[in-house]
Amino acid sequence: MNLIAAPFAHWLLLIALFISVGLILHAATRIAWFALSQEQLTGWFGASVVVLGFWQMKANIQPGLSFHLLGASALAMIAGRDKALLGLAVLAADTAYGHGEWASFGLSYLMIAFIPVTLAHGLFIWAQRTLAANYFIYIFVNCFAASALSMWSVGLLTCSLLAASGAYPLDFLLEEQLPYYFLLGWPEGFSSGIYLTLLVIWRPEWVSTFNDAFYLTRKN
């Protein structure tokens, strides 16, 4: 999912880079650094490193076509939207390691970081406002479903972008690329659901979006 720069126009790569850097800096300014507890820092930094590890386990098909778990939605649930967007700047380390190109850093960040984090955060806000205050809602909707939907959304947008740029024929992407994203949605959702379930049970203080008081005292 680390896009190569060659198929894309220079102006698109530059705009994506400026937007991505702006999002990272904006997220950094919104974090109340001095108010963060040791537990919050541990959950945030630890989850960011785990996500980077997920990105190392990938299958390369063709140039610009690779598959790996995202972990971005789970990080959004653990750390919150702003800290997740900043934490996913570990894409720079992945790029420096040779798994991506600096020229397409911005475009890759928007695809595998901004989109899944935004979707997960939006679904979390919607669920809290409209659905029952239930542990199972949190796990199955905010963790499992959000992660699976994120993978499918990233796959659909990636294939659309590659087709629009002329990098690969649309029929090839629909037959050889998009189905794998659909299949990957299930392990993405399952792994996120399992990890968040374990954290909520054993280390709830690491999960900034989970609040016992909300689920125990809210009446619907």
What letter represents residue 151's amino acid? M
Q: Could you identify the residue written with the tokens 């098909």?
A: 61
Q: Cα–Cα distance between 172 and 165 in angstroms, integer?
A: 14
| pTM of the complete model beyond 0.85 | yes
Q: In this predicted structure, what is the pLDDT of residue 191?
A: 94
User: Is 36 within a domain?
Assistant: yes
Q: What are 159's two structure tokens?
A: 């294939």
User: Is 1 within a domain?
Assistant: no
203, 43 contact by CB (below 8 A): yes
The total domain count for the chain is 1
User: Is 98 within a domain?
Assistant: yes
CATH code assigned at 208: 1.10.1760.20
Q: In this predicted structure, what is the pLDDT of residue 216?
A: 64
Host H or E run for residue 86: helix 81-87
User: Is 18 within a domain?
Assistant: yes
The parent domain of residue 201 ranges over: 10-217
User: Is 3 within a domain?
Assistant: no
Q: Cα–Cα distance between 158 and 162 in angstroms, integer?
A: 6
User: Is 208 within a domain?
Assistant: yes
Q: In this predicted structure, what is the pLDDT of residue 150?
A: 95
Q: In this predicted structure, what is the pLDDT of residue 72?
A: 96
Instruction: Put residue 150 in one of left, alpha, beta given phi > 0 → left and psi -120 to 50 → alpha.
Output: alpha
DSSP 144: I
Q: In this predicted structure, what is the pLDDT of residue 214?
A: 78
Q: In this predicted structure, what is the pLDDT of residue 67?
A: 85
Q: Which among 17, 24, 139 has a CA at the least distance from the CA of 84? A: 24
Q: How many CB atoms lie within 10 A of CB 74?
A: 31
Give me the tens of pLDDT residue by residue for the chain, a chain 220 residues long: 678 888 899 999 999 999 999 999 999 999 999 999 999 999 999 999 999 998 988 877 776 677 889 999 999 999 999 999 999 999 999 898 888 889 999 999 999 999 999 999 999 999 989 988 888 899 999 999 999 999 999 999 999 999 999 888 999 999 888 999 999 999 999 999 999 999 998 999 999 999 877 776 665 5
Q: Cα–Cα distance between 192 and 62 in angstroms, integer?
A: 27
198 exposure class (CB count in 10 Å sphere: 0-12, 13-18, 19+): exposed
207 φ/ψ angles, rounded to the nearest 5 degrees? -105, 105
User: Is 4 within a domain?
Assistant: no
